[in-house]
């Protein structure tokens, strides 16, 4: 059974957010605005994403996008960037090999020793193309967007 990898990005803040939704976003490791994380498509995460659909957007990233985010925005404890020596200490030969393992859901970031399981991103260059108050299918930015997550993540990294 093939599992899918999702890239989830929080794009709205937490003002007037219920405690239940705040806790849900904490479980997804998205405490702050403009943070991202990699998730698999297990039913638990799918339900949490549906509950948080008014604050986050998600979709399937490419292996190249995973590698780009790991290189540019990946951090280990102590807020130090992930470098090739850290990747080799985790048992991978390169960033490409680690990105492929994350894409195929063979490894999770929170299981790697010292890796922070979230990424702090910039706001997108040239801003959001649509409103962040509506869903992706209704001329907005929120919710599930499939492969289009790569374009947004590239502008935010």
Residues 6 or more apart in contact with residue 30 via CB below 8 angstroms: 8, 10, 36, 37, 52, 55, 56, 118
Query: In which domain, by residue range, is 17 found?
Result: 1-157
Please report the pLDDT score of residue 126 as a whole number: 94
Please report the pLDDT score of residue 116 as a whole number: 95
Strand partners, 120: 35
Of 19, 122, 154, residue with least CA distance to 27: 19
Please report the pLDDT score of residue 1 as a whole number: 55
CATH assignment at residue 58: 3.30.1390.20
With a threshold of 0.75, does the pTM exceed it?
yes
Please report the pLDDT score of residue 136 as a whole number: 95
Query: Per the structure block, which two tokens stand in for 25?
Result: 């976003």
Spatial separation of the C-alpha atoms in residues 152 and 157, rounded to whole Å: 9
If one counts the domains in the chain, the total is: 1
Spatial separation of the C-alpha atoms in residues 81 and 23, rounded to whole Å: 28
pLDDT tens readout for residues 7-23: 999 999 999 999 999 99
Neighbours of 147 (CB within 10 A): 11
Q: Which residues of the chain have pLDDT under 70?
A: 1
Instruction: Give residue 127's region: left, alpha or beta (phi > 0; psi -120 to 50).
Output: left
């Amino acid at each position: 059974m093939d599992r899918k990898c999702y890239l989830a990005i929080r794009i709205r803040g937490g003002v007037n957010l219920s405690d239940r939704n705040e806790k849900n976003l904490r479980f997804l490791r998205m405490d702050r605005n403009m943070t991202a994380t990699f998730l698999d498509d297990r039913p638990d995460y799918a339900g949490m994403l549906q509950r948080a659909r008014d604050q986050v957007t998600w979709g399937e990233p490419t292996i190249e996008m995973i590698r780009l985010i790991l290189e540019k925005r990946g951090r280990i404890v102590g807020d130090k960037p992930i470098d090739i020596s850290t990747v080799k200490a985790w048992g991978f030969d390169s960033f490409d090999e680690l990105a492929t393992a994350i894409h195929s859901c063979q490894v999770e970031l929170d299981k790697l020793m010292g890796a922070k399981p979230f990424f702090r991103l910039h706001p997108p260059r040239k801003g959001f193309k649509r409103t962040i108050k509506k869903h992706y299918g209704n001329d907005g930015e929120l919710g599930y967007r499939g492969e289009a997550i790569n374009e947004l993540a590239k502008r935010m990294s």
